[in-house]
Amino acid sequence: MANIGEVGDALSEEEEAYIARAADKRQKEFSAGRSAAKAILRDYGVKCASIPASSGRYPLWPPGFVGSISHTESHVLVAVGASDDYCGLGVDIEKINSVEADLYESLFTHAEREFLQKSDDVNIATTLFSCKESVYKAVFPMCHEFLEFTDVEIELTERQYSARCVSAKESAELIQKGRGLIDSTAGNMATIFLIQA
């Protein structure tokens, strides 16, 4: 994770073309994410001039890698892994306590809403939401399948989580195989969902 103001190398022509019509704020977020991702790839010994976006708006990683990028207004979170190790990898970062109660019905399953009612942790809703975002980012590049938030149910255990499809979806088996991790730092909730190859 990095502060958006601290990263932001020059973009490739392809990346610039993709983000050219976006607002300045979005361009800074995009640039920070791509810069952080390229730095991670350099740690793997891969010099990557461009990480273009697919038609589905997710990053297209160099051959042999999977990854994910997320950001808030102030921070960017990036994870990259070898595709020999992971077939899916998704990350999400959200400002702590940013999910309002009036959204619960559209975001959470009945079991998750019951869990929220019993919990005294005001940030559980944001945690569940972030977990679902990470799950979606991990599986969508493989399945290209749209998932409603209520299609996926999260079970939290300490700083980890598992997920399962509660609807008949192609990605159900992949989601069942994955495992997630949770952390919080600098006023943000961060989650990652990993599906081993």
Residue pair 129/107 in contact by the 8 Å Cβ criterion: yes
Task: Using alpha carbons, select from 127, 179, 175 the residue that is nearest to residue 151.
Answer: 175
Residue pair 189/90 in contact by the 8 Å Cβ criterion: no
pLDDT (tens place) for every residue of the chain, 197 residues total: 888 877 777 799 999 999 999 999 999 999 999 999 999 999 999 999 999 999 889 999 999 999 999 999 899 999 999 999 999 999 999 999 999 999 999 999 999 999 999 998 889 999 999 999 999 999 999 999 999 999 999 999 989 999 999 999 999 999 999 999 999 988 999 999 999 99
Q: How high is the pLDDT of residue 135?
A: 98
Pick 91-196's CATH classification: 3.40.50.1370, 1.10.3720.10, 3.90.470.20, 2.60.120.260. 3.90.470.20
Residue pair 105/69 in contact by the 8 Å Cβ criterion: no
Location of structure tokens 């022509």: 13
pTM above 0.75, yes or no: yes
Instruction: Count CB neighbours of 1 within 10 A.
Output: 18
Where does CATH 3.90.470.20 sit in the chain?
2-84, 91-196
CATH code at 2-84: 3.90.470.20
